[in-house]
Structures are given as structure tokens and as C-alpha cells.
Amino acid sequence: MDTVEKIKSQIAENPIILYMKGSPKLPSCGFSAQAAQALMNCGEQFAYVDILQNPDIRAELPAYANWPTFPQLWVEGELIGGCDIIMEMFQKGELQALIKETAAKSAAAE
């Protein structure tokens, strides 16, 4: 499976996935830390990929997503955005609503 296929498969299999530097508990950059914290505050499970451990994904994802930076939040196969967008949505309460709705849909589908 090539890298783009792997990315597509991760995005398809995980209704909420964050591509970040490090892990939610041990982020390796401030932007990833903020994004992961906002997601954790939503109170639902989410998947993550540490791009520092996956240099192939780190190299390919920006071109696939047409988004140059990390973190990247994907919800139901759609790129939501990076740290600024995630934080803005969180402050408006939009992120919590989106994450809860997606988690509920995903639980209903299982």
C-alpha cells in the first residue's frame, strides 16, 4: 500500500483523526498541543497519527490535503483545518458540536 493509500484508509476508517507532531498526551509542538487539548476537551474518542514517527505521511499528506502545515484535523473524511481553525471553532462551541455529532453517528453505525 503506498502512502497516499495509507492516508486515505486512515481517514476512511477513523471518523475523527488528528495528524499531529507527537501524541495527545505528549505533543511535540505547541500547535499540536493546542489542537489535541481542544479535541480532548470535547470528551470524545479520536484517532491520531504522529507524523514524526511517520515521515512518509508527513511528506505526502500536505499535498494530498492541499494544506501545508500540521496539525490537521479530519472529520468524516473532510479536512477541517489546522490549529487556528480548530481553536476558533472550539471557542465558538462549533468544534464540540461537530465532534459530539460525529461520535454519536459513528456509535450508531457500529
- pTM to 2 decimal places: 0.96
> What distance in Å separates the CA atoms of residue 74 and residue 5, rounded to the nearest whole number?
16
Pairing assessment for the beta strands 16-20 and 47-50 based on DSSP bridges: parallel
- Residue-level pLDDT at 26: 97
**Binding-site annotation: residue ranges for glutathione:** 21, 58, 70, 83-84
**Binding-site annotation: residue ranges:** 21, 29, 58, 70, 83-84
In this structure, is residue 65 part of a structural domain?
Answer: yes
Mean pLDDT of 17-39: 98
In this structure, is residue 16 part of a structural domain?
Answer: yes
Q: How many domains does the chain have?
A: 1
Pairing assessment for the beta strands 72-75 and 78-81 based on DSSP bridges: antiparallel
Kindly report the CATH number assigned to the domain that includes residue 84: 3.40.30.10
pLDDT (tens digit per residue) in 82-101: 999 999 999 999 999 999 99
CB 52 within 8 A of CB 28: yes
- Residue-level pLDDT at 1: 79
Domain that holds residue 47: 3-99
In this structure, is residue 33 part of a structural domain?
Answer: yes
